Chains A and B, each alone.
Chain A
Amino acid sequence: MNIAVTGEGIICAIGADKASVLSSLRQQQTGIGEMRYLRSSHHELPVGEVKFSNEEMAAQLNLPADPLMSRTALMGMLAVRQALLEAQVNNALVNRESLRVFLISGTTVAGMDITERYFSEIQQSDEHLACLKTHNAGADTQVIADYFGLFREYTTISTACSSAANALILGANLLKAGEADIVVAGGTEALSVFHLNGFNSLMILDQQQCRPFDDTRAGLNLGEGAAFVVLESAETARQRGVEPHAWLSGYGNACDAFHQTASSENGEGAYLAMTEALTMAGLSAQDIQYVNAHGTGTPNNDQSESAALKRVFGDQIPLVSSTKSFTGHTTSASGSIEAVICILALQHQFVPANLGWQHPMADGIIPTLGEDHTHLQNVLCNAFGFGGNDSSIVFTADKSNHNSPLSIVHSPLSTLAEVEITSEDQLDKIRDYVKPLEARRMGKLMKASLLSSLKALKEAGIETPDAIITGTALGCWENSEALLRQIEEEGEVMLKPTYFMQSTHNTISSNIAIRTHCHGYNVTYTQEGDSFAWALRDAKLLLQSGKVKTVLVGCHEETTPLYRSLMERLGICDLPAIHSKAVVLSCGE
């Protein structure tokens, strides 16, 4: 099935809609500059902010100013609204045709901008305690979905900086499997003091404008924004009388399975994701005219991505640029923001520049400084995340004859093993599987999830599963809380990097992938009480389509004494300190 892209919405540092983003790209004007909206003391760090206050965005959405409404949700609503408008999808159409329209959002930090503002206060007073209800990424997606009132289902993917790319991949799979008629997929992420300081603790923020792929590169500039695309089958688009803007012709998701925050030297995960995407699109490397690289500007990413690009394209590397030099690194939203930039490039037949590049790096690719007019038929868009969650997407200008269906065979799934951990006392058993030196940094949830997973795999007699899919509503809260506490007590100083690297939801899945050497499909769902159900649903899709033989599916949650006391004040009681379940599934014989 050919997946048509029929509408796009975008808001980021270089513009609040497609037209203004296009104009900035064409005129080579970066949106990175001094901080205006984020309440951080790190003014020495340039950022790529959306040039609106929360109140201004709420007004544009005809919403009352609400101190508990996250910037992530506000930007998400603005981008989704544009995408729906462009694709001519509205409530009247959806009701008349009984269309099953899904919203899939990629986000990680989500409501942290609000939580961090009230973290001290809510420990004493009830006034803003309800911010915890919209803290979770899944809750933000619900806020966005509720605003429009036309979505049949919605979910959230949280794989750090590849979240939005994976949202597009899930969207395409749901369409191919016939589970949805139209999918609005993308991502949204606001800047927060929390992750600005977190990235700072990893010492990968440049105090100057970022220079991806330059020999003098010294890190990334954080950005923010949201972008969503409307996906549907060629048939649905034809019936509705809308003209596709581009085609989502291939995609790949792989795991580097190397390190929690660093990419491998040979870019294994990136290489696997790109080759999978090309294979699905029925293309060879020479068919790609432009690559929108992940290109963060950190020494590690650009070295690793260069190596991967050389493995895929040999000595015939197409035009490559990282548009993070315009937008900053918009983390969870980068996959969809750059996807929309790729679609703009296809629609207007130009290639955006890699701003700031001057000096070739040793063994690095040479990025393009932009092409005003060029012929583009196929472009590749890379999005890589912490923990090696690497994804690549191919967009094509014209409908292809190549077909990459997802043929679902409804054979029953079988559970090969299931292990559940419900008590902290059980966690010492991790030492039966992992050396003390390796386990020493892991928080409670990291130990529990790894222990349940390794036990389940052992029971199933499997060393390396084909895919790892995790569901978690709250993720590694223990570490997030420790980081919030440190900011509260010490201010925006050099924070503990160990806390930050374990604060993203996908740390769980990628930790398991590293231990089991699993380079296959790796995704994390975070949709409140439905997180595990979505993980299972995706596992079923993969297994019944024959793409994989075994999947490790997990559901992992933890709480802290502080979190439980706050939630009790909100009337939510009896939350477990730890709950971890790992299931090994297979299908058919």
Chain B
Amino acid sequence: MEELILELKQEIIKALNLEDMTPDEIETDAPLFGEGLGLDSIDALELIVLLEKKYGIKLANPAEGKAIFKDVATIADYVSKNRKK
């Protein structure tokens, strides 16, 4: 799981152009949206693209993303259970 979490952080930095950040700076349990890192709805869409491309997970409804993208730990948990690749 630690490996997946690190990989996710690296992928998130790339997909969301968080150029100035390192994986260490993204807390695994801190909220990604709103008060936390401050991501927005376009970032949520970018994360949906990331899940599809990297892990073969298709989300049909963007509203599903809300719960899944709560923090990196939640994404890692979801990916490990649903990944197709």
A218 CA to B52 CA in the complex, in Å? 20
A172 CA to B7 CA in the complex, in Å? 57
Asked if A494 and B16 sit within 8 Å, CB to CB, the answer is: no
Asked if B62 and A260 sit within 8 Å, CB to CB, the answer is: no
A218 CA to B64 CA in the complex, in Å? 13
Give residues 490-526 of A contacting B (CB, 8 Å): 493-498, 501
How many B residues touch A, CB cutoff 8 Å? 18
A201 CA to B42 CA in the complex, in Å? 10
Given pairs A201-B49, A496-B49, 13 additional interface contacts (CB within 8 A): A218-B61, A261-B41, A437-B18, A440-B16, A440-B19, A441-B16, A493-B52, A494-B48, A494-B53, A496-B46, A497-B42, A497-B46, A498-B42
A437 CA to B19 CA in the complex, in Å? 9
Q: Which residues of A contact B18 (CB under 8 A)?
A: 437, 440
B30 within 8 A of partner (CB): no
- 9 pairs of residues in contact across A and B, judged by CB atoms under 8 Å: A201-B49, A203-B48, A260-B42, A262-B41, A437-B18, A440-B17, A493-B52, A494-B48, A498-B17
A202 CA to B65 CA in the complex, in Å? 13
A192 CA to B38 CA in the complex, in Å? 33
Q: Which of A203, A495, A497 has the most CB of B within 10 A?
A: A203
A26 within 8 A of partner (CB): no
Residues of B that sit less than 8 Å from A by CB: 16-20, 37-38, 40-42, 45-46, 48-49, 52-53, 61-62
Q: Which residues of B contact A497 (CB under 8 A)?
A: 42, 45-46, 49
Q: Which residues of A contact B19 (CB under 8 A)?
A: 436, 440
Residues of A that sit less than 8 Å from B by CB: 201-203, 218, 259-262, 436-437, 440-441, 493-498, 501
Q: Which residues of B contact A202 (CB under 8 A)?
A: 45
Smallest beta-carbon distance A207→chain B, Å: 9
A239 CA to B60 CA in the complex, in Å? 59
Would you list the 4 A-B pairs with minimal beta carbon distance, nearest first? A440-B17, A497-B45, A203-B62, A494-B49
Smallest beta-carbon distance A201→chain B, Å: 7
Q: Which residues of A contact B52 (CB under 8 A)?
A: 493-494
Chain A residue at minimal CB-CB distance from B41: A262
Chain A residue at minimal CB-CB distance from B52: A494
Q: Which residues of B contact A261 (CB under 8 A)?
A: 41-42
